[in-house]
Amino acid sequence: MLEIKNLHVEVGGQKILKGLNLNINDGEVHAIMGPNGAGKSTLSYAICGKPGYEITEGSVTFKGKNFLELEASERAGEGVFLGFQYPVEIPGVSNINFLRAAINSVRKYRNEGELAAGDFLKLIRSKAAELEMDPEMLKRAVNVGFSGGEKKRNEMVQMSMLDPIFAVLDETDSGLDIDALRIVADGINRMRCPEKSILVITHYQRLLDYVVPDFVHVLANGKIVKSGDKSLAIRLEKEGYAGLGIEENVA
Amino acid sequence: MTAKNHLGGLKFKAQFDLWGNSLPRSELDWVVKLRHESMAKFLQFGLPGPKVEAWKYTNLGQLNSGNYELITSADNVVNEMGLLENLKGSKVIFTDGFYNKASSTIESQNGVKLLSLNDYLKDFPEAAQKILNKNDDDSSLQSLNTALMTGGYVLFVDKNTTLTAPIQILHNTTTSSENKSIATKCFIDVQENSFAQIVEIFIGADEQNYWRHHVTEAIVSENAVLEIYQIQEEGKKAIHTADTHVDVGQRANFKHYSLNLGGKISRTEIKPTLKGLQANVDLRGAFLGRNGNAHDVFTHMKHLCPEGTSDQIYRGVLDKGGKSSFQGKVYVAKDAQLTNADQSNKNLILDRNAEANSKPELLIYADDVKCSHGATVGELDADALYYLKSRGLDQNAATALLVEAFVSEVYEEIKLEPLRSKYLELALNWLSKEHKK
Ligand SMILES: Nc1ncnc2c1ncn2[C@@H]1O[C@H](COP(=O)(O)OP(=O)(O)OP(=O)(O)O)[C@@H](O)[C@H]1O
Ligand SMILES: [Mg+2]
């Protein structure tokens, strides 16, 4: 599904990713862990085409397509979703209008007609209910005044509405209370199927108890320095990065 | 003879000498006399030039050098171009500045008098002389407007009367407007405890070069409410100047909404005077400009009495080749204690080749007041734009959604639903036009 080869990324003139390789096959769930500032969010932005993240070397291939040629919106159209570490507040745009615009944009990209208003409302109500989001929040401006946990839950509502085939979830578990973590984890697990893949970025083993990954990677100093199965995350939790011989970022 | 930093305006004098006697109501001596006096007053000053502080962003040089002819009559053929559907109430249409009886419908209501200015001059000469003479012009343009007026309307709302529906005033043009100056004037008098809403639309074709000059004089008496909603969609080459002067009485309420989209030059002047205790004024507007549109909003809020409140919200969106200025002057007299005056002007620049100017000016002589003002000029928020794109919206759709949000803040309090959606629809159309380029 996703193939990243020798990826080098610069941000603001700083070299952040320095030759990263990652292969994710259909149906797999991968987890990336790593010290603060290692470049995890940078990787998620590079995959999803954020301006300012300059790819100086390497390739990103999604379903056989050279992804680096596509605009951010086209990547979404291809079925990629990014759950933001810090979801953005957009004053004046209601959640519901935003979602309608998003869903119809993606459908347009796929040459599908607009979703009928009634079907859209039915869909959004059921998704909000699944993630136990108060429907009143759909009327509010996107993320404006949302608590940290509410923002993350909102990301999940967006994901389930857009129904991607590949999702990068950047610390979607941070800031969630215990119940919310379960609800969000259930949301992620609902997406799991042989045709879809997920990359979760997290600092905590706890999420991985609910969303059991097929592979765990450690990203440090701009590269994947260690890969393993779910037991790697458990060892990390116990021994820390230093205990595994991984240096903290030397800036 | 011309005042310092003013332009002569002599071509208007020449036109007036040629055609002044063919203007409407020339059979009434007092009207002819008034026109001549007003022309003389105009000539004492001339047209304000770009060195006049209040006009530093709007250059009327084209009015001075161009040979704008007078228009002395118009065909009374049906022309409803620009009329808003789904709004009930009287519809008064001016075509090329003349009252278009064939297209207008005036619904009668007890306590409401709505008639064309020229009928008013003829049928109520004494009252008409009174309001036209007491009219202490505060600008030379206003004097010129009186000298050249071709038509307009008069609205009287008696005490304790609520208009059953908003009155729609449409100003449209025909090909006869080419190279013409069109001067219209109107008077609105809303008596105690009464309520009136006016929707005023200015529309013209891109082909014609004309100057539309519209002056509104309004009185809002004690406890009364007057709301004016303007939509300006003049043709590309047009010059549009609209001045509103309003006296706001005790506990009276004046609201003015505008949307400026068209014209080569547009100037919207609003000058409310808060003359009674606890008078309230809200001014709201947006201006969207590109490709040679220059929009200028000039407000002068005069707080003369205690406990008045005024609030101004203006939003500008400037794309390639668009230019704007907002000048907001707030005056608080020594006696106007406990005044609360707010002002906010934010501008969004969509292209490097666009310009927005913002200039608040506060003159405060009372010591116990709350006054605030804020002005910003900025680009679209890059993080918001990316967030939207990451959800599948392309550049145009993402821009449109953000600009819509930016503009809609201005109109969100409008209770007349068809009007609020019309404002938003026009703003969105403006955006999608850009995308077609
Ligand atoms: N615009 C920028 N200019 C310079 N450096 C930047 C810029 N944006 C990010 N960086 C740097 O890039 C490095 C990687 O940041 P990134 O957000 O990818 O880290 P992360 O692994 O996601 O960290 P965390 O676990 O704290 O979320 C950091 O050192 C950060 O300071
Ligand atoms: Mg991060």
Chain A residues lying within 8 Å of B382, measured CB to CB? 51
- B382 and A51 in contact by Cβ < 8 A? yes
Q: Of ligand 1's atoms, which has the minimum distance to the CA of residue A203? A: 25
For residue A82, give the nearest of B383, B390, B395 by CB distance.
B390
3-state secondary structure of B263: coil
B295 near B355, Cβ under 8 Å?
no
Tokens 């997406």, residue located: A191
> Residue B21 pLDDT more than 50?
yes
CA distance B389 to chain A (A): 5
For residue A216, list its beta bridge partners: A31, A228
Shortest distance, CA B199 to any CA of chain A (angstroms): 25
Residue B153 backbone phi and psi in degrees, to 5? -145, 165
- Ligand 2 centroid – CA A107 distance (Å): 30
User: For the segment B334-351, what is each residue's pLDDT rounded down to a tens digit?
Assistant: 999 999 999 999 999 999
Nearest CA to ligand 1 atom 30: A37
Nearest CA in chain A to B405: A92
- DSSP letter (8 states) at residue B358: E
- From the list B387, B390, B408, the residue facing A90 with the nearest CB is B387
What is the band of A9 on the pLDDT scale with cuts at 50, 70, 90?
very high
Pick the closest to residue B179 from B94, B239, B234 (CA basis). Answer: B239
For A84, A180, A183, B271, the CA distances from A129, given in Å and listed in that order, are 21, 13, 11, 52
Indicate the average pLDDT of chain A: 93
DSSP A9-65: EEETTEEEEEEEEEEE-TT-EEEEE--TTSSHHHHHHHHHT-TTEEEEEEEEEETTE
Bigger pLDDT: B137 vs A38: A38
Q: How far apart are CA B312 and CA B297, in angstroms?
A: 11
The residue of chain A with its CA nearest to that of B402 is A93
For residue B435, how many other CB atoms are within 10 A of its CB? 12
Integer-rounded Cα radius of gyration of chain A: 18
- A&B contacts, CB < 8 Å: 79
Helix B29-45 / helix B140-148 crossing angle, nearest 10 deg: 150
Residue from A8, A17, A20, A42 whose mutation best tests the ligand 1 pocket (most atoms within 8 A of CB): A42
Using CA atoms, how far apart are residues A133 and A139, in angstroms rounded to an integer?
A: 12
| Residue carrying structure tokens 């020449």 | B14
Chain B's closest residue to A91, CA to CA, is B405
B435 interface with A at CB cutoff 8 Å: no
Q: Which of B84, B253, B72, B219 is nearest to B165 (CA)?
A: B84
Pairwise CA distance, residues B42 & B143, whole Å = 5
Q: What number is the average pLDDT over the span B277-298?
A: 97
CB contact under 8 A, A97 and B401: yes
Contact B110, B161 (CB under 8 A): yes
Q: Quote the mean pLDDT of chain B.
A: 94
pLDDT by residue (tens digit) across B393-431?
999 999 999 999 999 999 999 999 999 999 999 998 998
pLDDT value, residue B1: 62
Sign of CA dihedral B333, B358, A142, A180: negative
Residue A207 sits at φ, ψ, to 5 deg, of -60, -35
State the smallest CA–CA distance between residue B387 and chain A in angstroms.
7
Q: Which residues pair with B214 in a beta bridge?
A: B184, B242
CA distance B197 to B256: 10
Ligand nearest to the CA of A12: 1
Q: What is the predicted ipTM? A: 0.96
Query: How do the domains of chain A map onto residue ranges?
Result: 2-92+144-243
CB atoms within 10 A of CB A229: 12
pLDDT digits (tens, 9 = 90+) for B238-251: 999 999 999 999 99
Inter-chain CB proximity B387 and A48 less than 8 Å? no
Q: What is the C-alpha to C-alpha distance for residues B328 and A122, in angstroms, rounded to an integer?
A: 47
Rounded Cα distance, B19 and B269, in Å: 28
pLDDT, position A55: 96
Predicted pLDDT at A251: 45
**Strands ordered across the beta sheet of A166-170:** A80-83, A166-170, A197-201, A29-33, A215-220, A223-228
Cβ–Cβ gap A93/B409 under 8 Å: no
DSSP annotation of B109 reads B
Nearest CA distance, B415 vs chain A (angstrom): 18
Q: Does the beta-carbon distance from A101 to B387 stay under 8 Å?
A: no
The answer to whether residues B161 and B155 touch, using CB atoms and an 8 Å cutoff, is: no
- Given this model, what pLDDT does residue B434 score? 59
| Farthest CA pair distance, chain A | 56
CB A249 within 8 A of CB A35: yes
pLDDT of residue A79: 97
Of B394, B404, B408, the CB nearest to A105: B394
Segment A161-184 mean pLDDT:
94
A225 C-alpha to ligand 1 centroid (Å): 18
User: Is the Cβ–Cβ distance between A155 and A84 less than 8 Å?
Assistant: yes
Residue A42 identity: T
Average pLDDT over residues B49-53: 89
Question: Does the pLDDT value for residue A172 go beyond 50?
Answer: yes
pLDDT score of B2: 78
CATH T-level assignment (fold) for domain A2-92+144-243: Rossmann fold (3.40.50)
Q: How many CB atoms lie within 10 A of CB B359?
A: 16
Per-residue pLDDT at B365: 97
Confidence of residue B436 (pLDDT cuts 50, 70, 90): very low
Q: What pLDDT is stored for residue B406 in this prediction? A: 94
Predicted structure pTM score: 0.89
On whether any CB of chain A is under 8 Å from the CB of B388, the answer is yes
Chain A contact for B395 (CB, 8 A cutoff): yes
Q: What is the pLDDT of residues B90-140, one digit of tens each?
A: 999 999 999 999 999 999 999 999 999 999 999 999 999 988 876 566 689
Written as six digits, the tokens of B225 are 């409410």
**Distance from the CA of A16 to the center of ligand 1, in angstroms?**
7
Nearest to B392 among A76, A84, A97 (CB): A76
Q: Which residues pair with B298 in a beta bridge?
A: B269, B327
Query: What is the tens place of the pLDDT at every residue in B265-281?
Result: 999 999 999 999 999 99
Dihedral through CA A68, CA A74, CA A75, CA A79, nearest 10?
A: -150
Q: Specify whether the CB–CB gap between B426 and B259 falls below 8 A.
A: yes
- Decide if A88 and B387 are in contact by the 8 Å CB cutoff: yes
Handedness of CA A103, A108, A112, A115 (dihedral sign): positive
Closest Cβ opposite residue A50 in set B386, B391, B394: B386
Question: How far apart are alpha carbons B286 and B119 in whole angstroms?
Answer: 34
Neighbours of B312 (CB within 10 A): 24
| pLDDT confidence tier of residue A238, bands split at 50, 70 and 90 | confident
Question: Where do the DSSP E strands lie in A76-138?
Answer: 80-83, 90-94
Output DSSP code: residue B217: E
Query: Nearest chain B Cα to A163, which residue?
Result: B391
Output the CA A211–ligand 2 centroid distance in Å: 19
Helix axes B417-436 and B395-411, enclosed angle (nearest 10): 150
Name the residue in chain B with its Cα closest to that of A77: B392
Q: Which of A51, A92, A101 comes nearest B393 by C-beta? A: A101
Query: Phi/psi at B204 (nearest 5 deg)?
Result: -155, 170
Nearest to B154 by CA among B122, B110, B192, B202: B122
Name the residue type at position B263. G
Residue B4 is predicted with a pLDDT of 85
What does DSSP assign to residue B268? E
User: Residue B174 is encoded by which pair of tokens?
Assistant: 């025909």
Percentage of chain A exceeding pLDDT 90: 88
Taking residue B186's Cβ as centre, other Cβ atoms within 10 Å add up to 23
Q: Which two tokens stand for residue B356?
A: 């927005």
Residues having CB within 6 Å of any atom of ligand 1: A 11-12, 14, 16, 34, 36-42, 85
- Centre of ligand 1 to C-alpha A43, Å, is 10
Q: With contact defined as beta carbons under 8 Å apart, do A175 and A203 qualify? A: no
Q: Which amino acid is at A193?
A: C
Q: Atom 1, ligand 1: which residue's CA is nearest? A: A12
What is the SS3 assignment for A192? Answer: coil
The contacts of residue B330 (CB under 8 Å, 6+ apart) are: B301, B303, B310, B341, B343, B360, B361, B362, B363, B364, B371, B373
Exposure on the CB side of residue A218, measured as CA atoms within 13 A: 25
In tens, the pLDDT along B173-208 reads 999 999 999 999 999 999 999 999 999 999 999 999
Q: Which residues contact A59 (CB under 8 A, 6 or more apart)?
A: A3, A4, A5, A6, A7, A66, A68
Interface check for B361 against chain A (CB to CB < 8 A): the answer is no
Report the pLDDT averaged over residues A171-178.
Answer: 92
B205 touches chain A (CB under 8 A): no
pLDDT at B383 over 50: yes
**What was the pLDDT predicted at B83?**
87
Q: Where are the domains of chain B?
A: 76-379
Please name the residue whose Cα sits nearest to atom 27 of ligand 1.
A36
Look up residue B258 and give its two tokens: 């505008």
Inter-chain CB proximity A76 and B406 less than 8 Å: no
Q: What percent of chain B has pLDDT over 70?
A: 98
Please state, in angstroms and rounded to a whole number, the distance separating the CA atoms of residues B63 and B59.
9
